[in-house]
Amino acid sequence: MKQPEAKARIDKLKKEIEEHNHNYYVLNKPVISDFEYDLLLNELDTLEKKFPEFVTEDSPTRKVGSDMTREFRQYEHRYPMLSLGNTYSEEDLREFDTRIEKVSTAPFEYVCELKFDGASISITFRNGGLFRALTRGDGTKGDDVTLNVKTIKKIPVRITVENVPDEFVMRGEILMPRAVFDNINEDRIHNDLAPFANPRNAAAGTLKLLDPKIVASRGLDCNFYFLLADDLPHETHYENMMEASSWGFNVPKSIRLCRDIEEVIAFINHWESERKALPFDIDGVVIKVNSLTLQEELGYTAKSPRWAIAYKYKAEQALTKLLSVSFQIGRTGNVTPVANLEPVFLAGSTVKRATLHNENQIALLGLHINDMVYVEKGGEIIPKIVGVDHSLRNEGSREIKFITNCPECGTPLIKNEGEANHFCPNYLHCPPQLKGRIEHFISRKAMNIDGLGEETVDLLFNRNLIRNYADLYELEAEQLAPLERLGEKSAANIIKSIKSSLTVPYNRVLFALGIRHVGETVAKTISSRFISIDELMKADLESLTGVNEIGPKIASSIMAFFADSDNITIIQRLKDSGLRFSEETEKGPETDRLEGKTIVISGVFQKHSRDEFKELIEKHGGKNSASISGSTSFILAGDNMGPSKKEKAEQLGVAIMNENDFLELIGEE
């Protein structure tokens, strides 16, 4: 490879790796597996060694991926939080052992720890109390998530044992148990929210929430793996971890002291098969030199300690042929490409299909029809394709082209700026969307109409008895009884359940309409602010985004829904059928203490939650706003106020008020 070609490849790899770092650390939505990421990083490292003239200080090979966001205050780590070098091969482990033997003048031991797949945390304790908890950040400084960490039951807030260092740091991994993860995803699916891809993403995302009460409800756990202090109690890592365990820290019982590399490899092989029995996900084993003196002699590279390495398990994969790609249209019009595969047995079940996510993922993989592809489950909800065996590609294979028109109705697809998915905008005439919207409308958390499952909706749709959910209220038992699988009794029960749905409250009717991006929680929020559908239909962008948790994307979607005359016609038919499109009573403000004031809330509070403060603002005649502008009266600020909001407030000269002064202003002691 010549210099110009090498530089172009290095620049491309840097950009691609930084995008994956952002997806993984900040968005908690990785689009490639750890193995694929490591291949890219290793390729960049190899090229930089061959062409050192192109190495820069900001290269991903010389720094830790950052999880920092502007919503949290950042602090420096007293001890840098580095990443670990990793390997997937036994040969590399033996080379690691040989390098240490060359440095050590005496026999040495290793400590093996399971590499739990969660969110790294560094917690400082002062005088026995939990002082500050920081995320990994960029390795030098991290986000302050102290209030969230204090809600995790397995993390002690105060150490009552005598003779602990005046100040020390515990490093650990914030985890979400698989059972908790499954329950949360079940709830998210019922609430029309996208499920988390895996427990690691769920744990990392939860840790960055702005409301500690929600964090507390998520059932997070923590395992500790490192004790740091200027004056440590022992000269070995293993003894220090045992000491930390006696102080009340959750040090996994799986930690093992190994006399040589053979015992290390035996430990790795044991847990490769046993890991499925653990309540948490692990993705490998961390091997550390036990002696702290030897650790100091071995030292560090720019981003990793030389005395530790991570052996990573490959996610279980299978090689099979890609037969075709089909494109599915969801209820909200999203297009999902699905790979149809030659059946292959993988991780306990036969796999025939795998998700391809979106057009970007297909391009990243460079897929062709009839390619031999690697499929893995690796924490995903459904299998996914992670690679292609290019050596087995046929000369006549065809590159996959993403469709431009809806496969169901022929409408040109749309892809909004900043979104990864294409979608079909023809929601009133596209059959899968029509049926999907009806199925959503009758679901338990929406209108809760019994007797109308997916198959029955499909049957009624194909018989032209229904084309939208307003048609349901014009059905008669005589139309249903003659249909296959129904009969008079089933028909009567369906009609009875449809009539019973007329008592469903306004917020659930709003959710049932299936407005894009409006889930159950958002529908409740909107219905409390706009107490009738007529008021909501007149709302502009400013009044919508002024509502708690309603951003421009949701607001634009609501406005687009009500701008469609067909939707207005359907809503009028639903009104005529007797559905409830308003709250029973309109609740006005109790006082006028905040009348005419527009208030922005930022940060985390001690005496009330953010939602409770927003209710207090409205209760006293004020108006909530999500963004700061020249019309903002003041900012109600708690701990960890977002730096971007503070900066904008200073630019615009907007006053900042703490919660005690605010409570005094509204007359609450």
Q: pLDDT for 213-236, tens place per residue?
A: 888 888 899 999 999 999 999 999
| pLDDT at 516 (0 to 100) | 82
| pLDDT at 640 (0 to 100) | 72
Asked whether the predicted pLDDT for residue 163 surpasses 50, the reply is yes
CA distance 286 to 647: 41
65: number of CA atoms within 13 Å, CB side? 23
pLDDT digit string, tens, across residues 254-306: 999 999 999 999 999 999 889 888 888 888 999 999 999 999 999 998 778 99
| pLDDT at 460 (0 to 100) | 93
CA distance 423 to 329: 8
The answer to whether 308 touches 289, Cβ cutoff 8 Å, is yes
Amino acid at 386: V
What is the arrangement of strands in the sheet containing 598-602, beginning at the earlier edge strand? Answer: 623-625, 598-602, 634-637, 655-658
| pLDDT at 584 (0 to 100) | 63
Predicted structure pTM score: 0.52
Q: Average pLDDT, stretch 367-378?
A: 87
Cα distances (Å, whole numbers) of residue 553 to 146, 544, 545: 31, 10, 9
Nearest to 123 by CA among 256, 241, 225: 225
Q: Average pLDDT, stretch 176-203?
A: 80
Q: Average pLDDT, stretch 37-57?
A: 79
| pLDDT at 241 (0 to 100) | 97
| pLDDT at 512 (0 to 100) | 94
| pLDDT at 120 (0 to 100) | 93
Least confident of 353-357, 377-381, 452-456: 377-381
β-partners of residue 399 are 368
| pLDDT at 586 (0 to 100) | 47
Q: Is 669 exposed, middle or buried (0-12, 13-18, 19+ CB in 10 A)?
A: exposed
Nearest to 64 by CA among 284, 302, 311: 302
Neighbours of 623 (CB within 10 A): 18
Nearest to 307 by CA among 334, 289, 325: 289
pLDDT digit string, tens, across residues 439-449: 999 988 899 89
pLDDT digit string, tens, across residues 131-143: 999 999 888 889 8
Tokens coding 305: 């300690």
The H or E element that residue 574 is part of is: helix 565-577
Q: Is 656 exposed, middle or buried (0-12, 13-18, 19+ CB in 10 A)?
A: middle
Residue ranges of the alpha helices (H) in 376-474?
431-442, 454-462
Question: Vertex 11, ends 8 and 15: CA angle to 5°?
Answer: 140
| pLDDT at 562 (0 to 100) | 95
**CA-based R_g, the chain, Å:** 29
Going by their DSSP bridges, the two strands 372-376 and 335-346 should be labelled as: unpaired
The answer to whether 573 touches 527, Cβ cutoff 8 Å, is no
Nearest to 502 by CA among 479, 526, 544, 472: 472
Residue 235 vs residue 201, higher pLDDT? 235
Neighbours of 375 (CB within 10 A): 24
Asked whether the predicted pLDDT for residue 174 surpasses 90, the reply is yes
CA distance 38 to 573: 57
β-partners of residue 144 are 134
Residue 194 vs residue 594, higher pLDDT? 594
Asked whether the predicted pLDDT for residue 87 surpasses 50, the reply is yes
The DSSP call for residue 502 is: G
Least confident of 85-94, 237-246, 370-379, 592-601: 370-379
The answer to whether 304 touches 315, Cβ cutoff 8 Å, is no
CA distance 334 to 129: 49
CA distance 635 to 625: 10
CA distance 117 to 561: 41
Q: How confident is the model at residue 31 (pLDDT cuts 50, 70, 90)?
A: low
Tokens coding 183: 């329950």
CA distance 476 to 649: 60
Q: Average pLDDT, stretch 239-265?
A: 96
CA distance 531 to 586: 7
Q: Average pLDDT, stretch 485-490?
A: 88
Q: Average pLDDT, stretch 50-67?
A: 71
Tokens coding 651: 């630019």
Q: Is 558 exposed, middle or buried (0-12, 13-18, 19+ CB in 10 A)?
A: buried
| pLDDT at 419 (0 to 100) | 77
Residue ranges of the alpha helices (H) in 209-350?
212-217, 237-246, 261-274, 292-298
Least confident of 197-206, 371-380, 582-591: 582-591
Asked whether the predicted pLDDT for residue 25 surpasses 70, the reply is no
Nearest to 494 by CA among 452, 458, 436: 452
| pLDDT at 528 (0 to 100) | 86
CA distance 193 to 209: 16
Ranked by mean pLDDT, which of 5-19, 112-126, 419-433, 616-630 comes out on top? 112-126
Q: Average pLDDT, stretch 62-81?
A: 73
Least confident of 514-528, 556-570, 633-647: 633-647
The H or E element that residue 624 is part of is: strand 623-625
**Helix, strand and coil in the chain, % to nearest 5:** 40, 20, 40
Q: What are phi and psi of 436, to 5 degrees?
A: -65, -40
Asked whether the predicted pLDDT for residue 27 surpasses 70, the reply is no
The answer to whether 612 touches 537, Cβ cutoff 8 Å, is no
- What domains appear along the chain, each with residue ranges and CATH number? 3-62 (1.10.287.610), 74-312 (3.30.470.30), 317-399 (2.40.50.140), 431-503 (1.10.150.20), 506-577 (1.10.150.20), 598-665 (3.40.50.10190)
Residues recognised as catalytic: 115
The answer to whether 144 touches 640, Cβ cutoff 8 Å, is yes
Q: Which residue has the tokens 């292609």?
A: 388
Query: What percent of the chain is modeled with pLDDT above 70?
Result: 93
pLDDT digit string, tens, across residues 489-506: 999 999 999 999 999 999
Q: What is the mean pLDDT of the chain?
A: 87
Q: Which residue has the tokens 């108006």?
A: 623
Q: Average pLDDT, stretch 204-213?
A: 83
